[in-house]
Amino acid sequence: MKIYNRLKQFGFTLIELGLVIVVLGILAAVAVPKYIEIEANTLATAKKGMIGTVKSAFSMTITDLGRYPTFQELADNIQGGEAVATKGIEVDIDGTSYYVKLSTEVDCSNVNPALIVPTATVKCVQNTVTT
């Protein structure tokens, strides 16, 4: 009778390791685009939120002053807001400066950047955020 000396082998085969790598690749191919989409949606939502904040501050400032505020007065009522000539109200989202556009006309028709100065009267907050 022959006695076979069997060595116990531990570990994974090359096929098993290859299969794990393929599965991880498929998961990454699905997860990465979804993450990028979520990140883009987050920024868009933050911009909409900042427009809402500026509009709320605009309404409250009108109520407090009894008149339309200047760009500087409006910026003073927004936490972290700053009036930037020719650009609007500067707000910070994740370390990047964005500007909420303002207008000196009640119907938001005047978008002339030369008229956006800290002493000009704000009559409308536009639904636009730029970098």
pLDDT score recorded for residue 114? 59
More confident residue, 120 or 35: 35
pLDDT score recorded for residue 29? 93
pLDDT at 21 over 90: yes
**pLDDT tens per residue across span 34-64:** 988 888 888 888 888 888 888 888 888 888 8
CA separation for the pair 26, 125 (Å, rounded): 46
pLDDT score recorded for residue 23? 96
pLDDT at 90 over 90: no
State if pTM tops 0.85: no
CA separation for the pair 5, 124 (Å, rounded): 88
CA separation for the pair 70, 97 (Å, rounded): 21
Closest CA to 115 of 89, 90, 87, 91: 87
